[in-house]
Amino acid sequence: MKNSIASIIAVTAFFIAITASTVVGEVRTWTQAASGKKLEGEFIKMKDEKTVIIKFGTAEKPVPIVMLSEEDQAFIKAQNDPAPAPAGDTAKPATPAKKGALPTGETTVILSGVHLCCRDCEELAEKSVDNDKIIFADKTAIKIEPNRKDKTITVTAPTGKEANIALAGLMQAGFYGKSNHDVVMIKDLKPDDFTSDIMSIRDVKACCGKSVKEIKKAVESVDGVKDAEVKDGSNGFKVTGEGFKPTSVIQALRDAGYGGSYR
C-alpha cells in the first residue's frame, strides 16, 4: 500500500512539474488515471514493458503505464502491436499469430448496450473519428455504424490496432458498449477502494431530456451519491455525495451505455 501511494504521489508530482513546459499541438492528450489531469504529449517508445516514454514539450519523460487512463493504455498497446502486411486486392484478413494478439487484417467489432437515444447520438458516434486527439493511419478507412434500434455500434477498421483506437475515440465521444471481440475491446475498469465526496464527469453528452434522466438515474444509484448535476446539452457534470467510489460511478454510466472519464 505504501509503495502504491508513493507511486501515485510521484506521478502526480511529475505531471505538475512538466505542465509549464507542455506544448499544445503534440500527438495526443494523456490522462493521469488517479486525478484525471490531462497533458499534451507525443508517444515516443516503450522504455520497458511497464513504462512508456512520452515527449512533453522538448523533454522526453518515462511514465508508468498503470498510472495512465484505460484509453491511454489501449493506445500504447496499439502502438506496439505488429504493423499489418501490405494488402492487395486479393489480401485476406490475417489470423492472430497467438492467442490475445490483435488481428493484423480487416477487423469488425460490434459494441452492444450502447446509449443511442436519438439521431444526434448516432451522428456524434459517426463523427468520433474526427477527434484530432485520436490518431489513425487513415481515418477515412474507419467505418462507424450506429444502430439506434439495436443499441449497437459496429466498427470496421483495416486492422485490430486501428479498431482499438476507434474504440478509444468512441469512449471520448461518450459511448460505451460490450465488445463481441475477445481482443479488441474497451478494457474493464479496475475496482479500487478510493472514495470521494465530489467528482467531475467529462465527455458524456446529455443530448436530450431522456438522456439527462438516464444519466441521473445511473449515477444516483451508486451508494453515497446524492446528486448528479446533469443539464440538457451538457458534455459533463458534477457529482456530489458522501464517501462514494468514483469507479463505481463510471461503471454505472458504462452499464447505461455511456463512456467518458472523470477527475
Question: Residues 111, 101, 51, 134: what is their CA dihedral angle, to the nearest 10 degrees?
Answer: -40
The pLDDT tens digits for 191-246 are 888 999 999 999 998 888 889 999 999 999 999 999 999 998 888 999 999 999 99
pLDDT tens sequence for the chain (263 residues): 545 555 544 545 555 444 433 333 335 888 888 788 888 888 888 878 888 888 877 788 888 888 888 888 888 877 765 545 444 444 444 444 445 788 999 999 999 999 998 899 999 999 999 988 888 889 999 999 999 999 999 999 999 999 999 999 999 999 999 999 999 999 898 888 899 999 999 999 888 888 999 999 999 999 999 999 999 888 899 999 999 999 999 999 999 999 988 87
Are 76 and 51 spatial neighbours (Cβ–Cβ below 8 Å)?
A: no
Exposed / middle / buried, residue 41 (Cβ in 10 Å: 0-12, 13-18, 19+)? buried
Pick the last residue of a domain from 41, 68, 95: 68
102 belongs to a structural domain: no
pLDDT value for 260 = 81
Please check whether residues 212 and 151 belong to one and the same domain. Answer: no
Residue 210, domain extent: 196-262
Which residues have CB under 8 Å from 13's CB, separation 6+? none
CATH code for the domain in which residue 33 is found: 2.30.30
Domain count, the chain: 3
For the domain that residue 170 is a member of, what is the CATH number?
3.30.70.100
What pairs with residue 236 in β-bridges?
202
- Largest Cα–Cα separation, the chain: 60
Position 245 in a domain: yes
Say how many C-beta atoms besides its own lie within 10 A of residue 228's C-beta.
24
pTM, entire model: 0.62
**DSSP letter for each residue of 125-175:** HHGGGG-TTS--S-GGG-EEEEETTTTEEEEEESSHHHHHHHHHHHHHTTB
Q: Are residues 226 and 201 in the same domain?
A: yes
Q: Are residues 216 and 157 in the same domain?
A: no
The model's pLDDT over 96-114, given as tens digits with 9 standing for 90+, comes to: 444 578 899 999 999 999 9
Place of cell 446539452: 233
* Contact indicator for 163, 107 with CB cutoff of 8 Å: yes
Q: Is 74 helix (H, G, I), strand (E, B) or coil?
A: helix
